[in-house]
Amino acid sequence: MLLLQGLAACSGENDSANQSLATPPTPAGAASAGAEQADTRLVVAFGDSLYAGYGVLPQESFPARLEQALTARGIAARVHNAGVSGDTSAAGLRRLGFTLGGLDRKPDLVMVNLGGNDMLRGIDPAETRANLTAICEELKKRGIPIMLTGMIAAPNMGRDYADAFNAIYGDLAKRYDAVLYPFFLDGVVTDPALMLPDRIHPNPKGLEKIVERVVPLVAGPLTPDS
């Protein structure tokens, strides 16, 4: 878990009066295309550098790979990358309303991955918990399902800090009926072959492994009968 220490550094209409018989008819596929778009699920990946795609190409980022994986499962989904490198839980809370307001519609799911930078900066877990609670409260108020991808404290933060920090995600998942993936970097951070040279962020192979583990949990809330 000491490998987590460097995370801190990454840290529009035509007037009907002008219409005529010469107006081209609506393309045959337009209605079906519109229906297909309406059926497409919108997922927002709201977090820090681990969502933003630090050190990898945009098409290799976690949101891009997750969208591909959902498509492969037959789920039409658009995964919006709302990751900002270096964000703390406080910074995420400040931009949540702006992020949601900039979308074309209400998301079907918001994934939240924040708190890692708080831990590495030694921010009081009580503050992190309060910020993440406020984020979940706002999403609940808007009727948006939540998924939390958690972090865990590095060993050198001490037992008391770890106990307080590590409990946040599970507690909030229960309180807000959120889907929980306890540790975003599980099975990846300890394998150098799955990490970038900085030994902090996942490389494309690492991200692929994370997506393989996470996609079943994401697919559930996006399935109509779930």
SS (H, E, C) 15-43: CHHHCCCCCCCCCCCHHHHHHHHHHCEEE
The two structure tokens encoding residue 83: 């990751």
The pLDDT of residue 39 is above 90: no
Q: In the predicted model, what is the mean pLDDT of residues 28-46? A: 67
Lowest-pLDDT choice from 26-30, 37-41, 57-61, 187-191:
26-30
Rounded Cα distance, 165 and 129, in Å: 8
Three-class SS of residue 55?
coil
Delineate the domains of the chain, giving CATH numbers in brackets: 36-222 (3.40.50.1110)
Indicate the helix (H) or strand (E) that contains 128. helix 125-141
pLDDT in tens, 76-109: 999 999 999 999 999 999 999 999 999 999 999 9
Q: How deeply is 36 buried, as exposed, middle or buried, from its count of CB atoms within 10 A (0-12, 13-18, 19+)?
A: exposed
Mean pLDDT of 189-216: 96
d(CA 81, CA 57) in angstroms, rounded, equals 13
Catalytic residue positions, numbered: 49, 198, 201
Whole-angstrom Cα distance, residue 181 to residue 148?
Answer: 6
Closest CA to 209 of 195, 225, 224: 195
Q: Which of 129, 217, 135 is nearest to 165 (CA)?
A: 129
The span from the CA of 49 to the CA of 121, in Å, is 15
Residue 149: C-alpha distances to residues 57, 103, 111, 169 (Å): 22, 22, 7, 8
State pLDDT tens for residues 118-169: 999 999 999 999 999 999 999 999 999 999 999 999 999 999 999 999 999 9
Bin 24: left if φ > 0, else alpha if -120 < ψ < 50, else beta.
beta
- Does pLDDT of 9 surpass 50? no
What whole-number distance in Å separates Cα of residue 124 and Cα of residue 221? 32
* pLDDT band of 18, cuts 50, 70, 90: very low
